[in-house]
């Protein structure tokens, strides 16, 4: 017999739901009866008028949506300003939920209907959002910073491939590849300095940034990447932050025929893993806590790469603990 938790015994609130599919220019809003199309603009005036016209009580209203990066910022800020509860649908779960309804078609209107239904199934995950203008601005800067890193990797790979060419265009392609590579490197440094200046303007954010740098093995650029990552998932716990980075261990086994080794999922932030890998190699040499952890794994006959990945996870958990431990009452 399953033990009923205290929170399950509380009286359930009768929520009103709106399923909203967010795209670049439009919102598809389903109220349980009909789908409405509205503009996705800064203050979402049409959505506000719709809520007032339909007579919804904002204290009992839940907006269900699937985060779509910068396109869902308007909706998140709207809900935070008006103190409207939300259900944030995880993209993987939303995809599987849509398949479980046996629907073969997919469009924006159908997605809004599925989000409406999904919020009612997972009503225990309904919560309120906080207005985070400064953290949103930092995330936008870090998002661009990540783009420059990807472009640098892409042009590095192209430069290596062009060196093996033998045609007449070899010199031209090499010159263009080097030019693009240098351009993105300069842009990367410029964006990082811009983000650093921005962080200094917020006392709490800057204190968290400096706290991350106190960990041996984490430099200023890794600290900035982790700061943006932790701010993006402010409400996550330790296990969730490990999963969101893709460092959670997963198992693939079935009966006696499928017996695969446990390995990390890699279904998370690739840039965070890339920077943590380099930080872990440094921390193994200079951080006593990480070195003793790494050495203990090797003594237990664990493979070197497994020990490095475990050290990455350990470093992430320590950094997340330091981030959370910063006093929340620092004057902004």
pLDDT in tens, 237-262: 899 899 989 998 887 776 665 667 77
Nearest alpha carbon to residue 302 among 314, 310, 292, 313: 310
Q: Phi and psi at residue 85, in whole multiples of 5°?
A: -70, 155
Q: 100 vs 10, 30, 94, 95, 117, CA distance in Å?
A: 29, 19, 10, 9, 12
DSSP string, 96-132: HHHHHTT-----HHHHHHHHHHHHHHTGGG-B-----
pLDDT at position 224 over 60: yes
Q: Beta partners for 258?
A: 254
Long-range contacts of 131-134 (CB under 8 A, 24+ apart): 131/77, 131/80, 131/81, 132/80, 132/231, 132/234, 133/77, 134/202, 134/205
pLDDT at position 37 over 90: yes
Q: How far apart are CA 188 and CA 195, in angstroms?
A: 11
Q: Mean pLDDT in the chain? A: 87
Q: Which two tokens stand for residue 125?
A: 């995950």
The whole-model pTM stands at 0.72
b vs e for 106-132, b when ≥16 Cβ sit within 10 Å of the residue's Cβ? eeebbbbbbbbbbbeeebeebeebeeb
More confident residue, 191 or 250: 191
Q: What is the DSSP letter of 69?
A: G
CA angle (183, 188, 191) in 5-degree steps: 125
Long-range contacts of 302-306 (CB under 8 A, 24+ apart): none
Output the pLDDT for position 329. 47
pLDDT at position 182 over 90: yes
């Amino acid at each position: 017999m399953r033990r009923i938790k205290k929170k399950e015994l509380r009286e359930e609130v009768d929520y009103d739901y709106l399923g909203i599919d967010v795209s670049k220019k439009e919102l598809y809003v389903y109220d349980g009866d009909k789908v409405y199309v509205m503009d996705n603009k800064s203050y979402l005036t049409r959505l506000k008028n719709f809520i007032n016209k339909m007579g919804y009580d904002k204290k009992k209203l839940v907006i269900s949506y699937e985060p779509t990066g910068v396109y869902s910022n308007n909706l998140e800020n709207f809900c935070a300003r008006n103190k409207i509860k939300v259900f944030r649908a995880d993209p993987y779960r939303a995809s599987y939920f849509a398949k479980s309804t046996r629907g073969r078609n997919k469009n924006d209107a159908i997605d809004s209907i599925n989000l409406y239904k999904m919020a009612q199934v997972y009503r225990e995950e309904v919560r309120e959002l906080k207005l985070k203008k400064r953290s949103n601005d930092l995330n936008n800067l870090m998002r661009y910073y990540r783009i420059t890193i990807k472009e640098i990797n892409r042009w590095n790979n192209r430069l290596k491939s062009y060196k093996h060419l033998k045609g007449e265009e070899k010199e031209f392609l090499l010159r263009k590849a080097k030019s693009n590579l240098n351009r993105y490197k300069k842009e990367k440094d410029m964006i990082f300095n811009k983000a650093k200046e921005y962080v200094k303007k917020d006392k709490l954010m800057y204190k968290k940034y400096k706290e991350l740098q106190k960990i041996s093995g984490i430099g200023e650029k890794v600290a900035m990447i982790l700061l943006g990552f932790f701010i993006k998932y402010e409400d996550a716990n330790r296990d969730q932050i490990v999963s969101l980075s893709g460092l959670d261990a997963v198992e693939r086994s079935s009966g006696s025929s499928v017996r695969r080794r446990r390995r990390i999922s890699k279904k998370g932030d690739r840039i965070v893993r890339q920077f943590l890998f380099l930080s872990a190699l440094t921390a193994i040499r200079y951080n006593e806590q990480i070195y003793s952890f790494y050495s203990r794994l090797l003594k237990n006959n664990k493979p070197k790469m497994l020990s490095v990945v475990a050290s990455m996870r350990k470093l992430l958990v320590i950094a997340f603990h330091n981030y959370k431990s910063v006093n929340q009452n620092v004057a902004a």
